[in-house]
Amino acid sequence: MKILKRTVIQAATIQMEDWDERCPEDRYAVLWKAEDEENRYSARSLPDAEEYYDYRCLLMEQGRV
């Protein structure tokens, strides 16, 4: 697993991961962790993962999570 992007917004960590060839169907993942919550979104393509990563960052910046 390789971390492609990572940011911290309002004490929440959001990162985009590349799981290489181990998970070809859901190769990319976006992970967000805040206090006692942790969730992961799987994506089949890099553009899908980037779009969701940007969406989660925007939600955190706006305080809507």
For the segment 10-64, what is each residue's pLDDT rounded down to a tens digit? 889 999 999 887 767 789 999 999 888 899 999 989 999 999 999 999 998 887 6
Contact call for residues 44 and 25 (beta carbons, < 8 A): yes
Q: Per-residue DSSP letters for 41-61?
A: EEESSHHHHHHHHHHHHHHHH
Name every residue whose Cβ is closer than 8 Å to that of residue 57 and which is 6 or more positions away in sequence.
7, 9, 14
CA 10 to CA 38: how far, in whole Å?
15
The domain tally of the chain equals 1
CA 8, distance to chain mean position in Å, is 11
Q: Indicate the pLDDT class of residue 1, thresholds 50, 70 and 90.
A: confident
Tell me which residue range forms the domain holding 20: 2-62
